[in-house]
Structures are given as C-alpha cells and as structure tokens.
Amino acid sequence: MNDAGAAYAPEFGENIKRRMRTRQTEDRPPVRSEDVPKLLNEAPGVVGIMSTSISGGGSLDSAVRAVAEDGPQISKKIFCRVADLADTRVRPDMRASLISELSRLPDSASPYSMAIHMAVSASEARAEDERERSLRDASEIALTGLKEAGKSFSASLNAPCMAVFALGIMVPMVLMCIVPMLGFGGLFGSSPIGIEQIAVLTLVAVPAAVACVVLMISRRNPFLKPGNGDAWLRNYAPLLSVPVLVAVCLGEGMEADIAGCIGCIAGGVASFAAVLPAYMRESARKKIAVHLEDAVFDAGNRLLSGGTFEDAAVGAIASREGCAGVAEALRREFAVCRGDEEDAVARALSPVSETVSDAFRAICRAASKDLRDAGKLAISIGRQMKDQRSVRNGIRAELRSMTDTMSATAVFFAPMVLGLSVAMLAPVSSLSGSDISGTSSVLVLYLAELCVLISALNSFLEGDARPETVARRISMFLPVSALVFLVSMSIQL
C-alpha cells in the first residue's frame, strides 16, 4: 500500500464505523415522547447557537456542527447524528440530513422543528434583511414552544402537589388522632395501634410515598438542570450538626421530643450560617450574569457607532451595575492577550457566565471581519437573551404559587397541625388509657424528613437541584418547622 493509501485507510475505517452506527439507529426515534418538553426547553438555545453562526456569515454546515459540539444535551445528540449522516453520505448533504431528522421527531415537538426550519431558511437567504427576519421568526417560534412546555408542566402539578399536601399533613394527623380513639372505652378492642406501627407508617411509608411523588415531578420538569455531585459533602456536612446537638440535649436529660426540636433549631441555624456565604456568592454571580446579558445589546450599539470591539465590550460591561470588576478583569486580559481576544474574553467572562462568554466570543470573530456586522450580531444576540429571560421569568412566576404552598406546608401547616394534634392527645389518651409517650418524638423526626423532601421538591420545581440550593432550603425550613411544632405542642387544650 502506498503512502497515500496508508494515510487514507484510518479515515476510511472511521467513516465505515460511523456509517454502521448511523444505520443501526436509523429506525430508532431520535427523541422519546416524554423528552419532548425538555427538547422544547432546549429550542431557544439551539436557535441562538445557529443564529450566531449564520448571522456571523457561517453556513448551515457550520451552524449544525456548532450545535453538535456545544449544544444542549438532547439537541447535541440529534445534531451529532445529523452531521454523521451527512459526513458518511447516508444523506446527500447537511440540509437533507437535518430535514430528515426533524421529520422523525414526535408531532408534539413541532415548535422545535419549525424553529430549526426557519433557521435553515435563514441560512439560504441572500438578502440580509430576509436572513435576519427568518432568524427572528425562528427565535419567536422557539420561545412560543418554551412557553407551551412551561404551561403544560405547571398544569400537571396540581394533582402531585395536592398528593404531597395530603400525605404530608392529613395522613399523619389522622394516624395521631385515631390512635387513642381505637382504644377509647374498648369500643374497637383492647389492643390499639402501638407506637411501633405508627413509627413505621409515619417515618417510612409516608415519606416513601412523598419521595415517589417528588421524583415523579423531577422527571417531568423540562427545566431541571443537573446538580454538581462534587459539592454534596461540602454543602450537606453542616447538617450533621443536628443529630450531634440532639444527642447532646439527650445527654443533658431532656425529653426526646424537646431535645429533637432544640437540636433541629440550633443545628439548622448553624447549617444555614455555614451555607449562606456560598449562596450569597452565587446570588451575586447570577445578578452580574443578568447585567452582562444586557451588556451584549449595549456592545452592539457601541460597535454600530464606530467603536472597536475591545472598547465596546469593556465600555458596555463597565456601564452595568455591579460589573466594574468584570470590566477591569476583561481590560487586563485584553492588555496581555497578544492579539488572542477570544481567549481573553473566555478567561474574563466564563467564570461569571458561559453563555455571555460564548456570545462575546462570537461577536469578536465577527468583528475581525466587519465591525458593523458584529454590531448587528450583538444586538440580535442581546435581544434573544432578553426574550429568553423574560419567558423563563414568566414560567417561574407561574410555578411560584406551587413552591410557596409547599414551603408553607413544610414550615407552618404540617408542624402546626401535628403539634396541635399532640396537644389534643394528652387529655384524650388519659381517658382511653393509651400510651403516647413516643408519639411526639416520632413526629419531630417525621417533620425533619418532610423538610428534606419539600426542600428537594421546591428545588426541582424551580429547576435548580444543586446541592447548595437544597442544603440552604433544608437549613431554612428545619429550625422554623421545629419551632412551630414545639410551640404548638406546648399549647394546653
């Protein structure tokens, strides 16, 4: 075999493997029906990546490969397959491959398909106005699909959240009230339900049922982002102070229920103090990231006014509230970058927002060719970012009533109702002859479990399942719930 043949052999073998792989999955649907809401959630991001490439003078081929490389999870797989089918000549070209894959999506994903079709039309438009109009239509269609996914998810939460409310409050309350009644006057026999059975039902069966509902909701949520597994120990370790403080209180001779409440209150406050700094830093980062998104649009106006990319980027960022430090970091990076402006942008902006960093890098590439085109691209990207943020804020507002209800269940309704139930058990149990000495202790432990479950549920509903978010909510809910239960339990009826 000559040298040319030897060099071609590995590439030929790789193409054969890719062709076989695509043939094997050709009859398999690219997206399951249950994943369509997640796909609709990805649509604005995919359109944004394609728009950035097409507006910057790129072809449909480069736009598809950009999504295949940096796109969201489900769309990345779809576009990787599109590129494979085109590269291995299973499809004649990239356009035919993309159209074919879009036709295989479920009917419920039509907003996603329509948005990508409009982006394809934009890549084929000759006039700049026509191209920008098609990209704007693609963005609007993608946002409409996102709204539909949000409304569908919000409407599906009524029954699960009512189930959590019923399981979290009504079932334990009925159990606590029925225990002494079963033995009252021997009406239902001489052997009422014991504390062991109540403990199993309250601490195992009920939380398990609530956990199943929480997991079901998390799987349905198309807006849920994956958490960071490396942060689990750091964020949840402070909560270990709760059992330690409970053990200390028991060692001091306190009753088990009182010791449990005090341990939850003190441990929860200590844990909240431990996780608060990280939460404040993350909140500040998110606030700055929002201002940076607004700076993209401002940078576009500055470029259209004749400014250089460096001056436009630094000036736009410096003019936003709280972004002076980021602007200074970007200015320093530009000073030492030796002409590699894209790398300077990535080093300065990526720690705050990967999305904004990618946007400014795309604008930088466009500015190296034509400043006015770069300005138009920046304005287009900035408008898309603002529209996406507006839609997602609207979805969060619709879900806020659910999260508020669940929070009130964990920190107020459940501990108050169960605490008053314990207070009522004292006179009733004396008449029935029932022993309820361990009932309040079981309920303290149950309320701690409920706080953990509701904290996870609210994080899932808001699409933020990071360990620091869940740990902060647990640290907030736990002391308040224990305090409400302690006060309610102490009321003399």
DSSP 177-231: HHHHHHTGGGTT-S-PPPHHHHHHIIIIIHHHHHHHHHHHHHHH-TTPBPP-GGG
- Dihedral sign from CA coordinates of 210, 409, 450, 433: negative
Is residue 370 pLDDT above 60, yes or no? yes
- pLDDT at position 1 is 46
What is d(CA 379, CA 105) in angstroms, rounded to the nearest whole number? Answer: 32
Are the C-beta atoms of 269 and 278 separated by less than 8 Å?
no
Of 16-20, 33-37, 134-138, 158-162, which has the strongest mean pLDDT?
134-138
Closest to 51 (Cα-Cα) out of 292, 384, 290: 384
Tokens of 139: 């963005």
Q: Which distant-in-sequence residues (6+ apart) come within 8 Å of 204 by Cβ?
A: none
Q: Say if residue 481's pLDDT is above 90.
A: yes
Contacts of 155 (CB under 8 A, 6+ apart): none
Instruction: Identify the H or E element spanning 46.
Output: helix 36-55
Question: Does 326 or 174 have the greater pLDDT score?
Answer: 326
- Measured CA to CA, the distance from residue 39 to residue 35 in angstroms comes to 6
Task: Tell the residue number behind the tokens 């239960």, with chain if given.
Answer: 485
Q: What is the pLDDT of residue 291?
A: 92
Q: Give CA–CA dist 444/261, Å, rounded.
A: 7
- Residue 21: what residue type? R
Those residues with Cβ within 8 angstroms of residue 419's Cβ, 6 or more apart along the chain or in another chain: 443, 484, 485, 486, 487, 488, 489, 491
Q: Report, as an integer, the average pLDDT of 86-90.
A: 85
**Total count of residues recorded for the chain:** 493
Confidence of residue 27 (pLDDT cuts 50, 70, 90): low
- Res 255 pLDDT > 60: yes
Residue 266 has pLDDT above 80, yes or no: yes
Four-point Cα dihedral 416, 417, 421, 423, nearest 10: 20
Interval 173-230: pLDDT, tens: 777 666 655 555 444 455 456 667 778 888 888 889 888 888 888 888 888 776 555 5
3-state secondary structure of 465: coil
Of 4 and 211, which is predicted with more confidence?
Answer: 211
The torsion angles phi and psi of 492, rounded to 5 degrees, stand at -90, 120
Q: Between 164 and 225, where is the model more confident?
A: 164
The 3-state DSSP class for residue 464 equals strand
pLDDT band at 7 (very low <50, low <70, confident <90, very high): very low
What is the arithmetic mean of pLDDT over 293-301? 90
Phi-psi region of 322 (alpha: psi -120 to 50; beta: other; left: phi over 0): left
The region of weakest confidence among 12-16, 318-322, 363-367, 436-440 is 12-16
Top pLDDT among 492 and 146 is at 146
Quick one: pLDDT at residue 223?
80
Residue 346 pLDDT > 80: yes
Measure the CA angle with vertex 259, ends 442 and 417; round to 5°. Answer: 45
Predicted confidence (pLDDT) at residue 128 exceeds the cutoff of 70: yes
Question: What residues contact 431, with CB distance under 8 A and at least 6 apart?
Answer: 180, 184
pLDDT at 24: 47
Q: Cα(164)–Cα(167) distance, rounded to whole angstroms?
A: 5
Q: Look at residues 211, 268, 301 and name the one whose alpha carbon lies nearest to residue 477.
A: 268
Across the range 464-469, mean pLDDT stands at 81
Mean pLDDT (whole number) for 304-330? 89
Structure tokens at 107: 């009917």
Average per-residue pLDDT for the chain: 82
Q: Which residues make Cβ contacts (< 8 Å) with residue 416, sequence separation at least 6?
A: 484, 485, 488
Other CB atoms within a 10 A radius of the CB of residue 390 amount to 10
Tell me, rounded to whole angstroms, the distance of Cα 467 from its chain centroid: 12
Helix ranges (H only) for 337-413 are: 341-349, 354-367, 371-408
The whole-number pLDDT of residue 113 equals 92
Q: Name 168's Cβ contacts closer than 8 Å, sequence gap at least 6.
A: 206, 210, 409, 410, 414, 450, 453, 454
Query: Please, which contacts does 34-38 make with residues 24 or more away whose CB atoms are closer than 8 Å?
Result: 35/74, 36/105, 36/106, 36/108, 36/109, 37/149, 37/152, 37/153, 37/220, 37/222, 38/74, 38/222
* pLDDT given for residue 172 in this prediction: 83
What's the mean pLDDT in 236-242?
81
Q: What whole-number distance in Å separates Cα of residue 372 and Cα of residue 303? A: 6
Long-range contact list for 11-20, CB < 8 A, 24+ apart?
A: 15/87, 15/88, 18/84, 18/87, 18/88, 19/88, 19/89, 19/90
Amino acid making up residue 20:
M
Please report the pLDDT score of residue 154 as a whole number: 83
Scanning 56-127, the segments in alpha helix (DSSP H) are: 60-70, 73-87, 94-103, 110-124
Span of 72-81, 177-186, 363-372, 406-415 with lowest mean pLDDT: 177-186
Reported confidence tier of residue 12, pLDDT bands at 50, 70, 90? very low
- How far is the first Cα of the chain from the last one, in angstroms, to the nearest whole number? 97
